[in-house]
Amino acid sequence: MKEINDLNALNEVIRSGVTVLKFGADWCKDCRAIDPFMPEVAENYKDQLTLVSVDSEKAPDLVTKYTIMGIPSFIAIKDGQEIARFVNGSAKSRQEIEDFLDKSVAIANELS
C-alpha cells in the first residue's frame, strides 16, 4: 500500500478511478492494530480501487483538506470527488474495513 503525504501526489492518484485514503499515524494504537492486515486488504481490492495511506503527522494539509478529526479514518474518492467516509471513534476491524470498501465500490459503480 503506497503512502502519500503530499497534495500534488495525491491529486495525481485521485484523478481517475476509485481511491480510498487511510489516514493514520505511528502513535495511534488503533492504526497500528490494523496495519498488519492492510497490505493484504489492498491486494485483495487492487482490481476495484487504489488504497493509499496518509500519515496525519506528515500531511497536515491533507488532514485539513479532508477535515480529519480522528484516526484511523477512511475516505473513498471517485474521479476526484468524495463518495464515502468511514470515521468514528472506535477501533476498526478487518471486516468493518472490508465492508466499507465493498460499499465504496458499490457506490462508485452506481455513479458510473
Beta carbons within 8 Å of 63's beta carbon, 6+ residues apart: 23, 54, 56
Output the pLDDT for position 4. 94
Could you tell me the three cell numbers for 17? Answer: 478511478
Domain boundaries, the chain: 2-111
Q: Is the pLDDT of residue 109 over 90?
A: yes
Give the Cβ contact number of residue 85 at 10 Å.
Answer: 16
pLDDT band at 32 (very low <50, low <70, confident <90, very high): very high
Q: State residue 35 phi and psi, 5-degree precision.
A: -55, -40
Q: Of the listed 4, 18, 31, 38, which one is catalytic?
A: 31
Reply yes or no on whether 57 is catalytic.
Answer: no
Output the pLDDT for position 90. 82
Reply yes or no on whether 28 is catalytic.
Answer: yes
Q: Is the pLDDT of residue 88 over 90?
A: no
The CA distance from 51 to 2, in Å, is 7
The CATH homologous superfamily for domain 2-111 is Glutaredoxin (3.40.30.10)
Q: Of the listed 14, 28, 41, 59, which one is catalytic?
A: 28
